[in-house]
Structure 1
Amino acid sequence: MPRDDLTIRPLADAGELDLFQRLDYVLDDELADDLATNRRRPRWLWIATRDDRVLARAGWWGGPDDEVPASFDFFDVDDSLPVDEAVAVGVELVATALRHVVPSGATPPEYGRFIPPDWREDPAARQAVETRFAVLERLGARQLVERLRLEWRVGTPLPKRSTRLRFRAVADREELITLMTPVQQGTLDAHSQSDLASLSPEAAAAKHFDEEFAHFESPRDWWRVATLDDGEPVGFVIAARNTYNPIIAYLGVLPQHRGHGYVDDLLAEGTHILAAQDVPRIRAATDLANVPTARAFERAGYVNFARAVNFTWEH
């Protein structure tokens, strides 16, 4: 039911950013630059207030030329509220904002949130996370995946480079899609599994390229194919820089070459490529359920500094 004591609205302009930031989240320091570069718009940043108090906020992100946002990545409630009230306020805010932010009949963009790595063991963190989950679930979203956020830091010893594989640059989009297509066989990645429920492996690979890889502004010669001595491809690694960080965006071993530990060779190569750019850190992520890949990152010196959760709405 509508709450007469609430005011729910988008920001009037960028000058109201301080109002949006009365609640806090780890990405707050990116907001001003995102507004200046049109990756966020005041009409995509919503608040629920009572008198002068901000009780909840929600925000969406998109490319500078996007007419509609590509992701939903800010959602906070005042955690000093009773849980039932916090959920009710959150539901009303997000439901109202979605009616204005997302075109009628369109599926809302995926929601993603960074959370502490020990959120289940910390009572306050657990309550905050579960309150937000409850809001999303009441609005029809479902949790797709929980992921480990990983980071290699300057000063950490670099993993040893492969002595059994050769590396060359990826030739072009077609070669990468050709390599990605079989890699999805038996994938443990929840996003890929979701894509494969409605797309062929080739179409899913093309979607991944066009929606993510094509937008990287870093050099494509950082993308490497690993081969045996005779030139037969074993796998590939995509080292890149996104809008905010240098990242290991993707790595994959072809099915016929799995079981030989080549993931370590690929990850070492990608880490060396990025470390050579004098970066302060290298970020990566993998699904909580993808234990083999998580262990490869651990062996390469990456630390799990946070987790991420993703919720989706049914198409």
Structure 2
Amino acid sequence: MHDLTLRPITGGDELDLFNQLPYTLNHELADDLVERRRRPEWMWVAVRGDRVLARLAWWTNAGDDTPFLLDILDLDDTAADRVDIGVRLLRTAMATVVPPGTRPPEYLRDIPSDWREVAPARRVVEDRLAVVERVGAHPFVERLRFQWNPGTPVPEPNGRLTFRTPHDTEELLDLMTRVLDGTLDAHSQDSLTRLSAREAAVEHFEEELAHYRGPRDWWRVATLPGGAPVGFVTPARNDYNPIIGYIAVLPEHRGNGYVDDILAEGTRVLAAQDVPRIRAATDLGNTPMANAFLRAGYDNFERTVNLVWDQP
């Protein structure tokens, strides 16, 4: 290891160096730097000579000053000591980037949907997970990523539900609070171990929904013909794609198939904008939501794995 150099990149001028290792996010990095979703001091490389053997990078919402996710961790898969190099790089970078006494940001990795069945893909995933686990993280959740493509049929409204925009943020927060009862979402379940349902809803709103770029008049509350809310969906744009950001059915209305009607409405809202795709995700264990996406013609094109560190 004595011949390794571990350092952050100097700026956008070193993106070619950083991108020596391939990943599906490489094409986004230049814009991320411009928009300050990434910072050069959060993008580290392990270099031997002129060869990058490992790299990592944190991401945050534009305008925030602290890293929110560790979402890039790549290794040169031809290097016999790649996992050891990755461990050394991550420990060194974390000592500089993560403030002492604070919980490191969650690690998230996009992976092939069939990664367990394809030996080369499995080795790539397991090597990266080994690095993060050796630096103290543990598995938290695996998620399914879905994509709807233009031309996929979208059902017409069937009249069971009507849709309107939320009256205001307070109404949406009230609905977000109510749907946490019986939630199958791992992040929501974790939030409820340390926060009240209302506090968890506010945290979710402030950390995610408040950063959506699409107009809020795309958001929909689903109601019965008499006006009683059944659930909601927040079609939106994040920094990269049109998305189904949050979709949920109130506990007292679950089991009636309303999720299909609500998802169809969210898809219609975005499809009307002539979008090139729609992205969505749900936990592997949230079988009802995963099946709803499949019924609606969304393809499970990828997965993500999430690992977390315990509170210090």
TM-score of the two chains, using structure 2 as the length reference = 0.98
Q: Give the CA deviation at 1:159.
A: 2.8
**Counterpart selection for 1:141 from 137, 144, 149:** 137
Cα offset, 1:36, TM superposition: 1.6
Distance in 1 of aligned mates of 2:152 and 2:79? 42
Q: C-alpha distance in 2, partners of 1:213/1:159?
A: 26
**Contact kept in structure 2, 1:115 and 1:308, CA below 8 Å:** yes
The structure 2 residue matched to 1:26, chosen from 21, 24, 30, is 24
Corresponding residue for 2:52? 54
1:63 CA drift (Å): 2.8
Distance 1:206 1:18 in 2: 40
Map residues 42-191 of structure 1 onto 2, 5 A cutoff: 42-82=40-80, 85-191=81-187
What residue number does 1:275 align with? 271
The aligned amino acid for 1:287 is: D
By how many angstroms is 1:65 displaced? 2.5
CA deviation after TM superposition for structure 1 residue 64, in Å: 3.2
Where does residue 251 of structure 1 map in the other structure?
247
Q: Secondary structure at the match of 2:114?
A: coil
> Aligned partners of 2:60 and 2:146: how far apart in 1?
24
Q: 2:231 aligns with which of 222, 232, 235?
A: 235
- 1:182-226 Cα distance to aligned partner (Å, 9 max, x none): 211111111111111111111111110011111112111111111
Aligned residues: 311
Q: Which amino acid aligns with 1:105?
A: G
Q: 1:204 aligns with which of 195, 200, 207?
A: 200
Which TM-score applies when normalising by structure 1?
A: 0.97
1:104 Cα deviation after fit:
1.4
1:158/1:100 Cα in 2 relative to 1: closer, same or farther (>3 Å)? same
Distance 1:219 1:179 in 2: 19
Q: Once superposed, which parts of structure 1, at least 4 consecutive aligned residues long, lie more than 3 Å away?
A: none
Partners of 2:263 and 2:209 in 1: CA distance: 17
Mapped contact 1:95–1:139 kept (Cα < 8 A): yes
Hey, what does 1:306 align to over in structure 2? 302
> How many angstroms does 1:143 deviate by?
1.2
> What is the DSSP-based 3-state SS (H/G/I as helix, E as strand, rest coil) of the residue aligned with 1:128?
helix
2:292 alignment partner in structure 1: 296
1: CA distance, partners of 2:156 / 2:91: 50
Letter in 1 for 2:87: V
Gaps of 5+ in 1: none
Please, which runs of 5 or more residues in structure 2 have no aligned partner?
none
Q: Is the 8 A contact 1:159 1:301 kept in 2?
A: no
CA spacing shift, 1:291–1:95, aligned 2, 3 Å = same
Q: Following the alignment from structure 2 to structure 1, what is the Cα–Cα distance between the partners of residues 259 and 144?
A: 17
SS at match of 1:247: strand
Give the Cα separation in 2 of the matches to 1:311 and 1:68: 19
Query: Are 1:162 and 1:268, in contact at CA under 8 Å, matched by a contact in 2?
Result: no
Q: What is the CA distance between 1:5 and its match in structure 2? A: 1.7
Superposition deviation, residue 161 in structure 1: 2.4
Of residues 171-180 and 266-275 in structure 1, the stretch that sits farther from structure 2 once superposed is 171-180
> Aligned AA for 1:205?
A
Question: Residue 40 of structure 1 corresponds to which residue in structure 2?
Answer: 38
Does structure 1 retain, via aligned residues, the 8 Å contact 2:148–2:279? yes
Q: CA RMSD in A?
A: 1.0
**How much does 1:67 deviate?**
2.0
**Which one of the candidate residues 208, 211, 220 is aligned to 1:215?**
211
Q: Give the superposition deviation at 1:129.
A: 0.3
3-state SS of paired residue (2:109): strand
**Shift in Å at residue 87 of structure 1?**
1.3
Deviates more, 1:185-194 or 1:269-278: 185-194
Deviation per CA, 1:106-126: give whole Å up to 9, x if none. Answer: 111111110001100111100
Instruction: Supply the distance in 1 between the matched residues of 2:295 and 2:151 (Cα, whole angstroms).
Output: 15
C-alpha contact (below 8 Å) 2:61/2:211 kept by paired residues: no
8 A Cα contact 1:223 1:239, kept in partner: yes
